[in-house]
C-alpha cells in the first residue's frame, strides 16, 4: 500500500471515529478476534465458507472460552 493512501485511510478512520461512524477497536476486541480465528482453525472451519450453524457454533465456543479466560486471569 502506498504511503499516501495509508495516510488517507488513517485520516478517514480518525474523522469517522470523531463523528461516530466507526469506533476504533479496543485491545480486548483485537484479542477476541485473534482468539476467534484460533477457534475457527481448531475446528477446521473456513469463516467465508461456514454454514450458519458452524458460524454460530464457533462464535458461542469462542465467547464462552474467551470470557472465561478473562475472568480467571
How confident is the model over 5-63, as pLDDT tens digits? 778 878 877 887 777 766 778 899 999 999 999 999 999 999 999 999 999 999 999 99
pLDDT given for residue 4 in this prediction: 58
pLDDT at 1 over 60: no
pTM score above 0.75:
no
What's the CA dihedral at 56, 35, 30, 9 to 10 degrees? Answer: -70
Contact 39, 61 (CB under 8 A): yes
Distances (CA, A) of 4 to 1, 7, 8, 67, 68: 8, 5, 6, 39, 42
- Segment 62-71, tens digit of pLDDT: 999 999 998 8
Contact 54, 45 (CB under 8 A): yes
Amino acid at each position: 500500500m502506498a504511503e499516501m493512501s495509508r495516510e488517507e485511510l488513517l485520516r478517514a478512520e480518525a474523522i469517522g471515529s470523531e463523528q461516530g461512524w466507526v469506533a476504533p477497536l479496543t485491545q480486548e476486541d483485537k484479542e477476541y478476534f485473534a482468539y476467534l480465528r484460533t477457534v475457527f482453525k481448531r475446528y477446521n472451519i473456513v469463516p467465508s465458507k461456514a454454514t450458519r450453524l458452524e458460524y454460530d457454533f464457533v462464535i458461542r465456543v469462542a465467547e464462552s472460552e474467551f470470557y472465561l479466560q478473562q475472568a480467571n486471569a
